[in-house]
Each structure stands twice: as structure tokens, then as C-alpha cells.
Structure 1
């Protein structure tokens, strides 16, 4: 069930991301917000995906110059066997990623940062995705659609031509875990304003 925060109508909300999917997902929590995309240096690939995504989300939130506003930032990676699958560089890169992920299960980590002026908090959510056994022709046709080229792991969770199934948060795999984010925003703003945002 969508949890729309209703008690913070006067709070200015800023999404520190240009992702159309995150924009769509955040609208389930806040119908209105502004978008501010700032260059933030991403951390180098490290051993722990949970730390990588939360560090990157924090950097994006801190790069925003918004004042007296709730800044929401996120970072998503696909992880399997100690390897990160980020956004593909080109069609060849996407093809190789899909070949590697084919017929296997991997993890999707999304880190989220919430900032209000100098106060900031982060968290992450993990989901699992099982890919279909993909033939070379299927991969070629899918890559040709262009859908994989702006997505971590080179696929969209909604594309059942390549995805066999998943467990955990669907919205997390898309780039923003809506349910957990709504709860965390409520807690975060309550710690600032001393009020409780009801959800529906």
C-alpha cells in the first residue's frame, strides 16, 4: 500500500536525482517536489555494497545547495559474486553484463540519504533478482530496445523478457525503496519538527 506522508505539507522537498524512475517513485510519498541534480564524486568500488551505496547517496545529498528543505538522494548497484554491475558504458557492455547475469540470482542494493540542512541520515535496502536463461538472440533484441542502457545491471525489473522473479522490495530494485523511505522520512522529520506524519 502506498504510504503518502500527509502531515508535512509545508516541508519543501528536493530530489537530488535526475532519474525518471526515482521521480516517479518519490511522487508516491510526496506529490510535489523539486529536482536538483548536482555533481557529486562517487566513491570507488569497495568491498561492501551497503557502504558504497550509502556513501554515494550521502555525497549526492551533501552536494545539494538546498536550504531548509528535505533533500532525498539515492544510489543503486547490482552485486553478484563480489562484482558490481553499474550502468553499462555502451551496448557491448550491456550485452556482457546480461550474459554474466543470465540464469543466476543477484542482489540489488539501494542506499538512501535524507538531509535537512546539517542533519543527515542514511540507510539501505537489499532485494534479490533471478534472471531468466537468456539466449544470445534475446539479449541482442533486448539491448537493441535501449532499455538497458541507463540502468544498473543493464536491465529493468519490469522487463519480464529477462527477469524470472524477485524477492524483497520491487521499488528498491527500480531505484528507491518507497515503503522504507516513507517510514524513514517520517522518523527523520519527526526528529526535526517533533510531529508525526500520518501515512495512508
Structure 2
């Protein structure tokens, strides 16, 4: 007779709590190393040692070192998203508010250019599940931008017949390429300078001819 090894609800809750505790311990260890010596000093062996667990759990929970670093960055997303929504909701010209949103994104992304390089590289190798999560995050950040585009189209400051999906896809592509240019510039430009570098292509996409 085949036995069932289904966990009881209390046992499942304990297991999930332990997994969450381990995940937070790994993040805390990585965060402390980054604060002490910079993100490039993070190693899976030292992170696991500080957290008191096997380094194999970093692969299990984060898809490796790059995924762990990505999770560290994502901790700041809720604050950044709140700022994006606040800037987008301000009164005034929609295009000018869009520029302020992009400058705030650039301020977050360029706070540590080395970290941004790791994240961009990791984005080509992470799992399908990580990509789905990333797309959901991107959608949350683009929602206020979509409202700005809609508002600009209504007032005539943004091309009225430009499909919103095309506008958002183009904006994201231009911003991403612009950040690549910024992180490889010496010295690293300010957020305002970085957005100025990409503003020409972006206005060519969005503004009426």
C-alpha cells in the first residue's frame, strides 16, 4: 500500500516560515557584506557562512549570486514605485513629469553602476519564473507612465495616434540603452545628465511632429 507523506497544515506553515527565515538571513548577510566592502565583495560562501546555512541554498532560493544581488536591489522597488506614482500624479505638463520620473529611475539605477551591470547581465540568464516576476515589476512601474502618456495625448503634447503599447515598449528600450551608455561613461553622469542623453530619441518617439 502506498503511503501518503502530505504535510499537515501546521507542518507546512513551519516549513514555509523556515524557508522565509533562511531567505531573509541570506539577504541580511549579503546586505551587510555590500555595506562593508561593496557589492563586488559578495561571495556565496561568505554569505552562507554568515547566515549559518549551506551555500547551495543560494542557488535554491535566488538562482545564484546574481539573483541574490537582484533580490537586494528589489527591496528598494516599493519606495521607488511610490515615488514614481507621486511624481506622475503631480500637476503640470505630462512630458515634464515623465522626464522627472525617468530622472528618479536613473537616480536609483546609477546609485551603484557596478550593481546595475550585474543586474543587466543576470537578466539574460535567469529562470522563466524570474522573468515573469520581472515583467510584473516592470508593469507596475510603467502603469503611472501609461497614465502620463494618455494624459499627454489628450492635451496634444504627446502624439495622439501613437499606440500606448508601442510608446511604452519604445520608452523602456530607450531608457535601458541609455542606462547602459551611462554606466560605461567616465565619470558616471548625474541622473539629469543621463536622462538628457536619452531625451532626444525619446522625444522623437513621443512628441508630435
So what's the TM-score if we normalise by structure 1?
Answer: 0.26
Q: Choose between structure 1 and 2 for higher RCO, CA contacts under 8 A separated by at least 6 residues.
A: 1
So what's the TM-score if we normalise by structure 2?
Answer: 0.26
Structure with the bigger percentage of strand? 1
Structure with the bigger percentage of helix? 2
Structure number with greater Rg is: 2
